[in-house]
Amino acid sequence: MKMIAQEMEGPDLTECDREPIHLAGGIQPHGCLLAFDATSGALVQRSQNAGQWLPDVAWENACIESMFGPESAQRLRHIAGGPESIVHPLSLEAIARDGSHRYSSAAHVFDGALIVEFERPREPMGADELPLSLPLRLNLANQRLQRCPDVSSLYEAIADEVRSISGFDRVMVYRFLEGGHGAVVGEAVDSRFESFLGLHYPATDIPQQARRLYVLNTVRAIADVNASPIPLIPVANPATGRPLDLSFSTLRAVSPVHIEYLRNMGVAASMSISILADGELWGLIACHHYASRELNLEERAACEILGLTAGVYLTAREQQERMSQVAERRELLANCVHRIALAKSFDQGMREEASELLPLVDADGIALCWNEGIEAVGRTPSSEDLAAILGKVRSEAPDEVWHTTSLAETFPESRVDPREGDVDEVAGCLAVPINSTDLVHLLFFRREYLHEITWGGSPQKSTAEIDGTIRLSPRLSFEAWRETVRYRSRDWSPIDLQIAKDAHGSLIELLNRRSVELERVNVELSRMNADLDSFAYAASHDLREPLRGLNQTVYLLQEDLASAQNDIGKDGSNVAKRLASLVRLTSRMDELVDGLLRLSRAGRGDLQREYFDFADVALEATDMAWEGPGVPTVHWNLDGAPQVYADYLCVRELLTNLLTNARKYNRSPQVEVEIGFLRPPQEGIPGPQSAPTFYVRDNGIGIAPRLHEEVFQIFRRLHPAGEFGGGSGAGLTIAKKIVERHGGKIWIESAPDAGTTFWFTFEERHR
């Protein structure tokens, strides 16, 4: 990788950024300005030409009431007491010896001063009169903007409509780009002049403080660059001791540097209309005229409305296009993550999908940075450079998305001779942190984007020496100047960065799911190992017991048969007993094997979960568990019970086992069973339970507390085989396995001769 950065030497441009253009100390000569104390109403400053606009005014001790008629004075007082920085258009009546005169005016309050500006009225001018044509033209302009099919046509329409209303020779839609410089993306120009469409202009052409003012005051007009400004008197506001802040003034005088800039371009009048997107300066509608041109208040207001409308449409159209691209890429990301999730391991999935990740951020190469090494796919730097890039990324942004369009600037120590450069060299990098135990980072790369930028003149400002002082000077030439850009990639767009963040979140989430799944599998393996231990015990102990009985019975039966042959006619009752014993033992073997089979089925296979009413499955279980005479009395307590999200057949088997035991292990003349539900916290539920709790309670023989855990062991019987109808001893083990597979718990509340209550829960799941 040849990391080379191109530098452009030039003067320090911060001087231009520090110019206090909002404190101009004067106004343009086509108007007049008065500044009053917002509280007292006293006149504190005026433009030097105020006497020409307002003759016969006694300036000493002048105030709002002495200068304006009652209605106008009341209106100005209302503005002075209102919120700051709102410019109010007015038709003001000024008092004179020969009567009164009405002026087209604008007033606003800021920094403790009420600033009133006068302009030449449109003829004819009546109170609060606006030209009828402007609303109609604005309506037509809005309809045209609304019907533009794409952003490019919208740029063109904005320029056309503003030129139609303003009458300027040239109207440009100027968009700010990354790094602060801008480009002309739309234009409407008189055929007599060359086009500026596509030209770029450096960030220094519009200094930072001017950009801030464009956000505050969205229309800025210069009627004549050759006119001399009119100073304010006095220079400072007597009430504050500071120059008058003209940030929101429509007449504010122009910076000498900007006047020189416009003269160098051959421009005689200009107007700039801000285009805002979400409160940020997106760009400008820049208007140039090659003769002086003065727009009145109404025309400027119409242009301002068009600028606001343009910002809304541009923001909406760009957001629509951005959302479409984001949706498309997010679908690609989801598909990639899905395939990674289906792989045998995360590492294998990442390796298989590496090349498929490139379109997510429109990259040319990717490096998977593992703890044990780096694997590269596509166009990437050398292994040595990859290690250096990864080291810098991990030190500067270990947990954040990091990007650069110029590795040459990021790694200046790696520069080499530019003549050795290759157009296909890697220039840009986008880093996505993963920080798992194995995968550290994803590094995306873009190749060099060799291209030309056509500037409207050389982007370097010059300096001039005046009286031995070096001062910043605007560019003298605006002829097309082409710059070849090398050793940089295409910019990483906001969409690229958003998708990179999405990829970070999705992969981290997948890793977390994998971790949870691995933990669940480990728990399941532990449980299965425990089950295998129980099975081994059952096979070696419980199954051997009937086998030993079978062996002994067969041996005795052989002796009885031999004895019967030697003693014909001897009573054969012993043989009959032996045969009965064989039947009993084989039945026991059958019960044990059946219990093992049921236990195995309860512990494997996918659960077919669904929502159902617990009362329905409980009713069906009672029918299955209690066939024949002597059916127990059932008490139902399931009012308000929530639906259960579980495997219906499993829950039915759980209840069947519990209900069978309730009837079997019972000496009461009338067996009684209660099936119920309680929602914690509620009295009657032992233990700190938070999920809905179900129970099956009987009036049977009970279980000693010391045996409450043992009864869940496989084939663990508390009574001799002949008592209470026998059984395999697997029923409660199966019941516990079913509950635990549903994410719940089962426990016992019982004592000898006091009945038994089996409490159990399921994992709570809301619809």
| Burial per residue of 219-238, b for 16 or more beta-carbon CB atoms within 10 angstroms, e otherwise | bbbbbbbebebbebeeeebe
- Return the bridge partners of 757, or none: 697, 749
- Report residue 669's pLDDT band, with 50, 70 and 90 as the boundaries: confident
In a domain, 214, yes or no: yes
Q: What is the distance between the alpha carbons of residues 350 and 603, in angstroms, rounded to a whole number?
A: 33
Residue 83 corresponds to which amino acid?
P
Q: Coil, helix or strand for 460? A: coil
Span 749-758, average pLDDT: 90
* pTM for the whole structure: 0.60
Residue 506 has pLDDT above 70, yes or no: yes
Residue the block writes with tokens 């519990």: 658
Query: Which pLDDT belongs to residue 467?
Result: 47
Q: What is the overall mean pLDDT for the chain? A: 79
Span 464-490, average pLDDT: 56
- Report residue 85's pLDDT band, with 50, 70 and 90 as the boundaries: confident
In a domain, 236, yes or no: no
Residue 566 has pLDDT above 80, yes or no: no
Question: For residue 553, what is the DSSP state?
Answer: H
Residue the block writes with tokens 């209550």: 757
Q: Are residues 200 and 260 in the same domain?
A: yes
Phi-psi region of 583 (alpha: psi -120 to 50; beta: other; left: phi over 0): alpha
- Report residue 14's pLDDT band, with 50, 70 and 90 as the boundaries: very low
In a domain, 634, yes or no: yes
Residue 647 has pLDDT above 60, yes or no: yes
- For residue 747, give the nearest of 728, 734, 761 by alpha carbon: 761
Domain with 618 in it: what CATH number?
3.30.565.10
Q: What is the distance between the alpha carbons of residues 35 and 67, in angstroms, rounded to a whole number?
A: 12
Question: 766 vs 250, which has greater pLDDT?
Answer: 250
In a domain, 648, yes or no: yes
Q: Are residues 192 and 79 in the same domain?
A: no
Query: Which pLDDT belongs to residue 2?
Result: 38
Q: Are residues 270 and 159 in the same domain?
A: yes
Domain with 183 in it: what CATH number?
3.30.450.40
Across 273-277, 322-326, 581-585, least confident range: 581-585
Q: Are residues 614 and 681 in the same domain?
A: yes
Strand 280-289 vs strand 113-119: parallel, antiparallel, or unpaired?
unpaired
Question: Which pair of structure tokens corresponds to residue 340?
Answer: 């990674």
Across 154-163, 172-181, 592-601, least confident range: 592-601
Residue the block writes with tokens 């009053």: 36
Query: Which pLDDT belongs to residue 130?
Result: 45
Residue 402 has pLDDT above 70, yes or no: yes
Question: 526 vs 208, which has greater pLDDT?
Answer: 208
Query: Which pLDDT belongs to residue 243?
Result: 92
**Number of other residues whose CB lies within 10 A of the CB of residue 397:** 14
Residue 513 has pLDDT above 50, yes or no: yes
Residue 107 has pLDDT above 50, yes or no: yes
Span 152-181, average pLDDT: 91
Question: 281 vs 457, which has greater pLDDT?
Answer: 281
Query: Which pLDDT belongs to residue 58?
Result: 81
Diameter of the chain measured on Cα atoms: 161
Residues contacting 750, CB < 8 A, separation 6+: 702, 703, 705, 708, 756, 757
Question: 254 vs 596, which has greater pLDDT?
Answer: 254
Give how far Cα 331 sits from Cα of 209, 326, 556, 714, Å: 42, 8, 77, 50
Percent of the chain whose pLDDT exceeds 70: 72
Residue numbers of the domain that contains 682: 605-767
Write out the DSSP string of 160-180: HHHHHHH--SEEEEEEE-TTS
Q: What is the 3-state secondary structure (H, E, C) of 337-356?
A: HHHHHHCCCHHHHHHHHHHH
User: What does the pLDDT look like over 311-363, one tens digit per residue?
Assistant: 999 888 888 888 888 999 999 999 998 898 888 888 888 889 899 999 999 99
Last residue of a domain, one of 603, 622, 646: 603
Peptide bond into 234 cis (omega under 30): yes
Q: Are residues 107 and 185 in the same domain?
A: no
Q: What is the distance between the alpha carbons of residues 432 and 438, in angstroms, rounded to a whole number?
A: 14
Q: Are residues 436 and 474 in the same domain?
A: no
Q: Coil, helix or strand for 278? A: coil
Q: Are residues 743 and 651 in the same domain?
A: yes
Last residue of a domain, one of 586, 603, 620: 603
Query: Which pLDDT belongs to residue 91?
Result: 83
- Report residue 682's pLDDT band, with 50, 70 and 90 as the boundaries: low
Residue 38 has pLDDT above 50, yes or no: yes
Question: Which pair of structure tokens corresponds to residue 200?
Answer: 């770029």
Across 255-264, 432-441, 709-718, least confident range: 709-718
Residue the block writes with tokens 């236990």: 599
Q: Are 85 and 61 in contact (CB under 8 A)?
A: no
Question: Which pair of structure tokens corresponds to residue 191?
Answer: 């055929």
Domain with 114 in it: what CATH number?
3.30.450.20
Span 746-763, average pLDDT: 90
- For residue 431, give the nearest of 503, 351, 527 by alpha carbon: 503
Across 43-57, 171-185, 463-477, 634-648, least confident range: 463-477
In a domain, 237, yes or no: no
Q: Are residues 168 and 63 in the same domain?
A: no
- Report residue 181's pLDDT band, with 50, 70 and 90 as the boundaries: confident
Last residue of a domain, one of 59, 94, 119: 119
Q: Are 53 and 72 in contact (CB under 8 A)?
A: no
In a domain, 535, yes or no: no
Residue 4 has pLDDT above 50, yes or no: no
Q: Are 217 and 225 in contact (CB under 8 A)?
A: no
Span 632-647, average pLDDT: 88
Q: What is the distance between the alpha carbons of residues 493 and 423, in angstroms, rounded to a whole number?
A: 21
Q: Are residues 423 and 512 in the same domain?
A: yes
Span 610-628, average pLDDT: 86
Question: Which pair of structure tokens corresponds to residue 510?
Answer: 């997948």
Domain with 423 in it: what CATH number?
3.30.450.270
In a domain, 730, yes or no: yes
Q: What is the distance between the alpha carbons of residues 476 and 733, in angstroms, rounded to a whole number?
A: 94
Q: Are 199 and 480 in contact (CB under 8 A)?
A: yes
Query: Which pLDDT belongs to residue 125?
Result: 42
Q: Are residues 113 and 137 in the same domain?
A: no
Residue 227 corresponds to which amino acid?
A
Residue 42 has pLDDT above 70, yes or no: yes
Percent of the chain whose pLDDT exceeds 90: 27
Instruction: Give the Cα-Cα-Cα angle 212, 215, 220 (nearest 5 degrees).
Output: 95
Give how far Cα 85 sits from Cα of 16, 221, 247, 257, 307, Å: 25, 18, 9, 26, 19
Question: 729 vs 336, which has greater pLDDT?
Answer: 336
Residue 487 has pLDDT above 60, yes or no: yes
- The separation between the first and the last C-alpha atoms of the chain, rounded to the nearest angstrom, is 56
Q: Are 140 and 163 in contact (CB under 8 A)?
A: no
Span 113-117, average pLDDT: 93
Query: Which pLDDT belongs to residue 668?
Result: 86
Q: What is the distance between the alpha carbons of residues 509 and 552, in angstroms, rounded to a whole number?
A: 63
Q: Are residues 458 and 567 in the same domain?
A: no
Q: Are residues 458 and 515 in the same domain?
A: no
Q: Please, what is the angle between helix 494-537 and helix 346-353, to 10°?
A: 150
Number of domains in the chain: 5
Q: What is the distance between the alpha carbons of residues 250 and 298, in angstroms, rounded to a whole number?
A: 12
Query: Which pLDDT belongs to residue 469?
Result: 41
Q: What is the distance between the alpha carbons of residues 47 and 27, in angstroms, rounded to a whole number?
A: 7
Q: Coil, helix or strand for 84? A: coil
Give how far Cα 695 sits from Cα of 678, 745, 761, Å: 8, 12, 9
Could you give the residue ranges of the DSSP H alpha helices within 34-167? 50-53, 64-67, 70-80, 133-146, 151-166
User: What does the pLDDT look like over 187-240, one tens digit per residue?
Assistant: 999 999 999 898 888 888 788 888 888 888 899 999 999 999 999 999 898 888
In a domain, 243, yes or no: no
Query: Which pLDDT belongs to residue 17?
Result: 54
Q: Are 485 and 453 in contact (CB under 8 A)?
A: yes
Across 54-68, 354-368, 684-698, 712-726, least confident range: 712-726
Q: What is the distance between the alpha carbons of residues 560 and 574, in angstroms, rounded to a whole number?
A: 7
Span 646-675, average pLDDT: 87
Q: What is the distance between the alpha carbons of residues 79 and 88, in angstroms, rounded to a whole number?
A: 8
